[in-house]
C-alpha cells in the first residue's frame, strides 16, 4: 500500500513538473511570437515612411517635368533667331539629357512605390 501511494505521489509530482515545463515552453514560444510581431510592425512602419518619402520626391520630380515643353519650345525658337544659335542648341541637348534622366528617376520611384504598396498590403493582411 505504501508503495502504491508513493508511486502515485511520484507520478503526480512528475506530471506537475512536466506541466510546468510545458507551460514555460509555451510562454517562451509566445514571447518569441510577440517579439516577431513587434519586429513585423516596425518593418511595416518603416515601409510606410519610406513610401511616403518616395511619394513626396515623386511629386517634386513631376513638378520639374511640367515645364519641360515650355523650355524646349523657347530654346527651339531662340536657337533659330538668336546670335548664339549653337549655344542654344547645346543647351537644348543638355536639357533633353536632363529630362531623360528625370523620367528615369520618376519611373524608378514609381516602381519602388508600387513594390512598397505590395509589401504593405501583404504585411497588413
CATH of the domain at 111: 1.10.287.1700
Under the banding of pLDDT at 50, 70 and 90, the label for residue 108 is very high
What is the pTM for the complete model shown? 0.64
* Number of domains within the chain: 1
Q: How many degrees, rounded to 5, is the angle at CA 36 between CA 31 and CA 37? A: 95
- Report whether 79 contacts 92 (CB < 8 A): yes
The grid coordinates listed for 77 are: 525658337
Residues 6+ apart with CB under 8 A from 117: 51
66-87 tens-digit pLDDT: 877 787 778 777 777 767 777 8
Range of the domain at 72: 2-124
What are the pLDDT digits (tens) for 37-62? Answer: 899 999 999 999 999 999 999 999 88
Amino acid at each position: 500500500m505504501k508503495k502504491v501511494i508513493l508511486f502515485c505521489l511520484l507520478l503526480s509530482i512528475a506530471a506537475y513538473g512536466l506541466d510546468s515545463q510545458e507551460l514555460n515552453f509555451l510562454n517562451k514560444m509566445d514571447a518569441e511570437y510577440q517579439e516577431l510581431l513587434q519586429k513585423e510592425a516596425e518593418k511595416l512602419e518603416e515601409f510606410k515612411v519610406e513610401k511616403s518619402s518616395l511619394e513626396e520626391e515623386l511629386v517634386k520630380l513631376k513638378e520639374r517635368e511640367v515645364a519641360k515643353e515650355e523650355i524646349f519650345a523657347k530654346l527651339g525658337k531662340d536657337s533659330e533667331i538668336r546670335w548664339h544659335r549653337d549655344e542654344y542648341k547645346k543647351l537644348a541637348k543638355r536639357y533633353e539629357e536632363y529630362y531623360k534622366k528625370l523620367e528615369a528617376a520618376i519611373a524608378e520611384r514609381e516602381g519602388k512605390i508600387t513594390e512598397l504598396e505590395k509589401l504593405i498590403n501583404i504585411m497588413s493582411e
